[in-house]
Amino acid sequence: MEIRDFQELLGRTFLDRDRRRGLPETFAWLVEEMGELSRALRSGDRDSLDEEFADVLAWLASLANLCDIDLQESAGKYAHGCPRCGSIPCSCPE
């Protein structure tokens, strides 16, 4: 599935609800899911990781929909490798 298709699907599924919840609360949910991802990373449980990555991606798409941001275009920032040095792999000093 393309990023744009995923975002559009999330919009059809949740945008009305996301608008009622509003931007600050939707952002809070994204942060909450990041916390759950953090716990899944520490647990090392593969099923939890799959689930939490999905949830973070979904809440990020909801937030982008509320901000009228096209994540496909956002991803374009990295389409040619590192946006700073322009290399693949990145050759910026660590």
Residue 20 found at the interface with Zn ion (CB under 5 A): no
The binder of Zn ion chosen from 20, 46, 77, 84 (CB under 5 A): 84
**Sequential DSSP letters for 15-40:** HHHHHHH-HHHHHHHHHHHHHHHHHH
Residue 92 found at the interface with Zn ion (CB under 5 A): yes
Q: Which of residues 19 and 80 has its CB atom nearest to Zn ion in the complex?
A: 80
**Sequential DSSP letters for 57-93:** HHHHHHHHHHTT--HHHHHGGGTTS-TTT--SS--S-
Q: Which of residues 42 and 84 has its CB atom nearest to Zn ion in the complex?
A: 84
Which residues of the shown chain bind Zn ion in the complex (CB under 5 A)?
A: 82, 84-85, 90, 92
